[in-house]
């Protein structure tokens, strides 16, 4: 560029103009003009894992996301609503053309946008967990912190795969962050996924702290990991292990189910093992927003008559966890486990993911299946008594198992698809749903794999049958 400045200049005027031109030699002389520092809102990947606080921020972001979107959330991508409609817990009052209508009518398409969203959100959360696990392996922070973060990463991954595989069947089991591998990953059989989940949870259980690392039980501890492990054992019919693992949780003295039913879903509840923290103080749960209505007919969903009729007389849970709304012609019920649907200044309820009642019923079922009927009845009755009922009158093994499943239905309605999964794992799905669901057919046990996924990754073939 310099040779242009050598042109003879006769007038002072031109020198001044040329000076402006020369400014450019500054830009031309250094390539660094087009090198720009990262904006202040971004950190490079390796920096994040060099510091305990930033690594922690990356981890809690996954909890925040799981609370707000995806399988564990309170909106339609969450199993509580979607599987409630899909099975026999919720009636639908919204527009039939929406996903809610397809769920309720059991007419999901492989092209359904909500199904696609569930899939993408979940794998996005799994990716974030995998990044943490990978990033922590040689992170220059204390071993205790590192182990805790790895354990939580393993726990999150296991929890998500548990719901994913129970909803979609065989799914790709992704543990790396390498897109070249992940984009062609084939589907893995459910039993193999369960084996991996169990191995991960065992490892997590050994790495994670026994005590809560945060106020309000909003971070998983060892009991949380074990609670999930006990559930996985139950779902895989490993009764002995389910009993012993549930016992490990139940032996912790900080959990108790002896409290008024109306207080079970408060954020201070002693029966809570793990719950999501709120977005900010004063926020309550999305479940409240989705389920609560105060005049009829319901705007979106309401509990089915079948569920309401499943409660025994004097069941405190019917009294407190369901609320009737009437327009003098007809009465509808909504799930009032969570009673808040607005901002309250100080948060009253957090979304609870694991609670101790489940561990009693897991141990009861494990024992029942093993023929230890006395122990089984004992745990079942604890849950019944807490709900204001008298002890069970079931006697035979089958009666006790049936009683436990009935109990699970009224205890965990509207919670993370528990009813649907119970029917499925016990082989009762078609029998229970074909009579009450007009659109039900045998292929509906699994959601379709999103069609777009199959198009991009043909290794996902074949599609689940019926889609």
Partner 1 sequence: MKKISLSKGIRAMGYSFILGVSLLSSSISANNSLAYSTVQQQPSKISGIITDGVGPLPGVTIAVKGRFLTAISDYNGEYVIAANPTDILVFSFMGFKTIEISISSQKIVNVQLKEDATVLQEVKVNAGYYSVKEKERTGSIARITAKDIESQPVTNVLAAMQGRMAGVSIVQDAGTAGGGFTIRIRGQNSLRSDANEPLYIINGVPYSSENIGFSETSTATLGATSPLNSINPSDIESIDVLKDADATAIYGSRGANGVVLITTKKGKVGQTTFTVNASSGVGKITRFLDLMHTQEYLAMREQAFANDAIAVYPEAAYDINGTWNKNRYTDWQKELIGGTAEINALQGSVSGGSTQTQYLLSGTYRKETTVMPGDFQYNKGSAHFSMNHAASDGKFKAQFSASYTTQKNDQPAADLTYAARSLAPNAPALYTENAELNWENGTWNNPLANLNQKFTSRTYDLFSNAVLTYSIVKNLELKSNFGYTDTKNNEKRTIPSTIYNPSYGMTSSSSSLYTNNTARRSWLIEPQLNYNLHRNKHKIEALVGATAQSTTTERLHVIGYGFSSNALISDLASASLRLVFTSDENIYKYQAFYARINYNYDKRYILNATGRRDGSSRFGDGKQFATFGAIGAAWLFSNENFLKDNRIMSYGKLRGSYGVTGSDQIGDYQFHDTYVSSGNAYQGVIGLQPSRLFNPNFGWESNRKLEVAIDAGFFHDRIFLTAAWFRNRSGNQLVGIPLPGTTGFNVLNANLNATVQNTGLEFTLQAANFQTVNFKWSTAINITANQNKLLSFPNLQSSPYSNSYKIGQPLSIQKVYHFSGLNPQTGMYEFDDVNGDGAIAAPEDKETIANLSPKYFGGFQNTFNYKNFQFDFLFQFVKQQGVKYLPGPGGGMTNQLQAVSNSWQQTGDSSSQQKLTTGLNYDIISAYYNFTESDGAITDASYLRLKNISLSYDVPLPPSSKIKCRLSLQGQNILTITPYDGDPEFKFAGYLPPLKMYTANVQLTF
Q: Under rule CB under 8 A, which residues in 233-292 are in contact with partner 1?
A: 276-277, 279-280, 282-283, 289, 292
Query: Cβ closer to partner 1: 175 or 426?
Result: 175
Instruction: Mark 387-426 with x for binding to partner 1 (rule: CB under 8 A) and - for no binding.
Output: ----------------------------------------
DSSP per-residue codes, 237-292: T-HHHHHHHHHHHHT-TT----S-GGGTTSTT-TTEEEEPPPSSTT---HHHHHH-
Q: Which residue in the set 50, 52, 75, 106 belongs to the binding site for partner 1 (CB under 8 A)?
A: 106
Q: Which residue in the set 77, 81, 114, 131 belongs to the binding site for partner 1 (CB under 8 A)?
A: 131
Q: Does 457 bind partner 1 (CB under 8 A)?
A: yes
Q: Are 338 and 284 in contact (CB under 8 A)?
A: yes
d(CA 88, CA 310): 11
| Closest distance of CB 466 from partner 1, Å | 8
Select the span of 104-112, 312-320, 354-362, 422-430 touching partner 1 (CB under 8 A). Answer: 104-112
What contacts 112, CB < 8 A, 6 or more positions away? 99, 102, 448, 450
d(CA 419, CA 89): 8
Query: Cβ closer to partner 1: 31 or 313?
Result: 31
Q: Does 33 bind partner 1 (CB under 8 A)?
A: yes
Q: Which residue in the set 2, 6, 12, 20 belongs to the binding site for partner 1 (CB under 8 A)?
A: 20
Q: Does 454 bind partner 1 (CB under 8 A)?
A: yes
DSSP for residue 310: H
Specify which residues 188 forms β-bridges with: 171
Closest CA to 273 of 254, 295, 245: 254
d(CA 41, CA 43): 7
| Closest distance of CB 463 from partner 1, Å | 6
Q: Which of residues 157-186 bind partner 1 (CB under 8 A)?
A: 172, 174, 177, 179, 182-183, 185
Q: Which of residues 44-103 bind partner 1 (CB under 8 A)?
A: 44-46, 48, 54, 56-58, 60-65, 67-68, 91-93, 95-97, 101-102
Q: Which residue in the set 204, 246, 364, 460 belongs to the binding site for partner 1 (CB under 8 A)?
A: 460
| Closest distance of CB 343 from partner 1, Å | 4
Q: Which of residues 316-375 bind partner 1 (CB under 8 A)?
A: 327, 330, 341-345
Q: Does 143 bind partner 1 (CB under 8 A)?
A: no
Residue spans of alpha helices (H) in 69-214: 79-86, 99-104, 113-136, 143-168, 179-182, 190-207
Select the span of 71-79, 117-125, 251-259, 371-379 touching partner 1 (CB under 8 A). Answer: 117-125
Q: Which residue in the set 50, 52, 75, 127 belongs to the binding site for partner 1 (CB under 8 A)?
A: 127
Q: Are 389 and 368 in contact (CB under 8 A)?
A: no
d(CA 263, CA 271): 9
Q: Does 29 bind partner 1 (CB under 8 A)?
A: no
| Closest distance of CB 97 from partner 1, Å | 5
Specify which residues 326 forms β-bridges with: 331
d(CA 221, CA 205): 8
- Pairing mode, strands 352-355 and 272-275: antiparallel
Q: Which residue in the set 50, 52, 75, 120 belongs to the binding site for partner 1 (CB under 8 A)?
A: 120
What contacts 173, CB < 8 A, 6 or more positions away? 161, 185, 188, 192, 193, 196
Token pair in block for residue 130? 């995998």
Query: Cβ closer to partner 1: 230 or 301?
Result: 301
Query: Cβ closer to partner 1: 183 or 256?
Result: 183
Q: Are 416 and 159 in contact (CB under 8 A)?
A: no
Token pair in block for residue 321? 């966890």
Q: Does 439 bind partner 1 (CB under 8 A)?
A: yes
Q: Which of residues 296-315 bind partner 1 (CB under 8 A)?
A: 296-299
Q: Does 453 bind partner 1 (CB under 8 A)?
A: yes
Chain-centroid distance of CA 120 in Å reads 13
d(CA 222, CA 380): 24
Q: Which residue in the set 38, 313, 346, 427 belongs to the binding site for partner 1 (CB under 8 A)?
A: 38
Query: Cβ closer to partner 1: 97 or 309?
Result: 97
| Closest distance of CB 250 from partner 1, Å | 27
């Amino acid at each position: 560029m310099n040779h242009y400045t050598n042109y003879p200049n006769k007038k002072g005027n031109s020198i001044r103009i040329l000076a402006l031109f020369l400014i450019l030699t500054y830009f031309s002389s250094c390539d660094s003009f087009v090198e720009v520092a990262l904006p202040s809102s971004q950190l490079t990947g390796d920096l994040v894992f060099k510091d305990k606080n930033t690594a922690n921020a990356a981890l809690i972001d996954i909890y925040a996301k799981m609370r707000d979107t995806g399988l564990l959330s309170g909106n339609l991508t969450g199993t509580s609503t979607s599987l409630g409609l899909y099975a026999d817990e919720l009636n639908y009052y919204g527009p039939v053309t929406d996903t809610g209508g397809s769920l309720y009518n059991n007419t999901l398409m492989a092209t359904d946008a909500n199904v696609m969203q569930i899939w993408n959100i979940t794998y996005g959360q799994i990716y974030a967990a995998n990044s943490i696990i990978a990033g922590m392996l040689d992170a220059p922070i204390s071993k205790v912190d590192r182990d805790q973060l790895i354990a939580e990463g393993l726990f999150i991954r296991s929890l998500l795969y548990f719901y994913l595989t129970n909803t979609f069947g065989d799914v790709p089991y992704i543990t790396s962050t390498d897109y070249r591998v992940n984009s062609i990953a084939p589907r893995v059989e459910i039993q193999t996924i369960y084996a991996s989940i169990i191995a991960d949870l065992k490892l997590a259980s050994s790495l994670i702290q026994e005590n809560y690392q945060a106020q309000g039980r909003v971070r998983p501890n060892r009991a949380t990991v074990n609670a999930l492990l006990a559930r996985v054992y139950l779902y895989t019919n490993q009764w002995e292990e389910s009993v012993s693992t549930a016992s490990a949780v139940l032996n912790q003295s900080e959990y108790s189910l002896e409290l008024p039913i109306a207080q079970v879903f408060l954020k201070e509840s002693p029966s809570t093992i793990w719950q999501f923290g709120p977005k900010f103080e004063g926020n309550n749960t999305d479940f409240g927003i989705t389920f609560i209505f105060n005049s009829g007919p319901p705007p979106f969903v309401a509990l089915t008559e079948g569920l309401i009729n499943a409660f025994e007389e004097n069941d405190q849970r019917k009294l407190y966890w369901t609320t009737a709304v009437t327009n003098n012609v007809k009465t509808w019920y909504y799930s009032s486990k969570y009673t808040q649907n607005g901002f309250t200044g100080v948060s009253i309820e957090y979304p609870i993911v694991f609670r101790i009642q489940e561990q009693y019923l897991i141990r009861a079922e494990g024992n029942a299946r093993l023929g230890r009927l006395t122990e089984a009845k004992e745990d079942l009755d604890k849950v019944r008594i807490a709900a204001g009922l008298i002890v069970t009158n079931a006697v035979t093994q089958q009666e006790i198992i049936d009683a436990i499943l009935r109990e699970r239905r009224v205890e965990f309605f509207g919670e993370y698809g528990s009813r649907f999964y119970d029917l499925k794992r016990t082989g009762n799905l078609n029998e229970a749903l074909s009579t009450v669901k007009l659109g039900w057919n045998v292929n509906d046990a699994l959601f379709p794999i999103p069609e777009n996924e199959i198009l991009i990754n043909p290794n996902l073939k074949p599609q689940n049958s019926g889609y």
